[in-house]
Amino acid sequence: MSLLTIDGLNLTIDGKPLVSNLSLSIGPGERLGLIGESGSGKSLTAMAATGLLPRAILPSGSVTLGGQQVIGAPDRVLDALRATVAAFVFQEPLTALDPLLRVGRQVAEPLQRRARRDGRALAGAALNREVLALLEQVALPQPERIARSYPHEISGGQRQRVAIAMALACRPQLLIADEPTTALDVTTQAEILKLIDGLVRERGMALLFISHDLPVVAEIVERVVVMRKGVAVEAGPVREVFGAPRHDYTRSLVAAAKAFDAALEGTP
């Protein structure tokens, strides 16, 4: 069974197409990359996958998440899907965090929601233990201190780790990461990428990894869909698509990545 199936998705605003006839699917434990230049429709596709589209943008076609139709589904159904099947990590960790709440409180919330759904009470010392355990799993140093901190008191990389912890708290089958390393410095980028890679493998989660950065995507996924101007221009296993790109646009992405590598290594 597929976890996420997008079939013939169209997104329009005022009748103008933003995404056209897009299809992709992700099975349990599979890792798929969505790559393309800025404005190609990657984020809108991810939002459509979880029913989070802005109101002005109209979807048609079919999106099923955990076997449920997302397009036209009531909020009640979408909330349940988002809490159990799919969780989001965004480019800017502050999107997921409330500036006025201590980190520990924020991580506790999805943990409690998940526990309620499982018919389990979770509060007090037990909740505290689970919060600290989760912060440890995303390799945050001194989890007690981090739990007591407000988002502005920790670094950008630490905030992204907290956002990842919150996404994991509901134990989703599918993690959707939309440019999760783009806002971070290069060293932190590599660490967060490694963390996501490790967590997805350990937990057997499926991953939809969105990025404009080809080398980043190639490192973490098995298959890719290349988007340009709202259309999927190429799709397949990473090695095939990047090793022997068929579409001009994919070729230009590969050439740019190679030129960048060469520049880093100081070779012409």
Ligand X SMILES: Nc1ncnc2c1ncn2[C@@H]1O[C@H](COP(=O)(O)OP(=O)(O)O)[C@@H](O)[C@H]1O
Which among 21, 24, 63, 37 is positioned nearest to 236, based on CA atoms? 24
Query: Among 31, 32, 33, 40, which residue sits at the site for ligand X (rule: CB under 6 A)?
Result: 40
Site of tokens 């984020």: 43
Q: Which of ligand X, Mg ion, none lies near 175, with the C-beta cut-off 5 to 8 A by kind?
A: none
Q: Which of ligand X, Mg ion, none lies near 36, with the C-beta cut-off 5 to 8 A by kind?
A: ligand X
Query: Among 6, 9, 36, 172, which residue sits at the site for ligand X (rule: CB under 6 A)?
Result: 36
* Per-residue burial over 5-41, b = 16 or more CB atoms within 10 Å of its CB, e = otherwise: bbeebbbbeeeeebbbebebebeebbbbbbbbeeebb
Report d(CA 39, CA 32) in Å as an integer: 19
Q: Is 43 in the site for Mg ion (CB under 5 A)?
A: yes
Q: Is 22 in the site for ligand X (CB under 6 A)?
A: no
List of residues 6+ apart from 16 with CB closer than 8 A: none
- Report which residue's Cβ sits closest to ligand X: 43
Q: Which of ligand X, Mg ion, none lies near 44, with the C-beta cut-off 5 to 8 A by kind?
A: ligand X
The window from 34-42, 110-118, 191-199, 252-260 that contacts ligand X (CB under 6 A) reads: 34-42
- The nearest distance, CB 6 to ligand X, in angstroms, is 14
Beta bridge partners of 223: 32, 237
Q: Which of helix, strand or coil describes residue 63?
A: strand
CB of 25 or CB of 43, closer to ligand X: 43
How big is the site for ligand X, counted in residues (CB under 6 A)?
Answer: 12
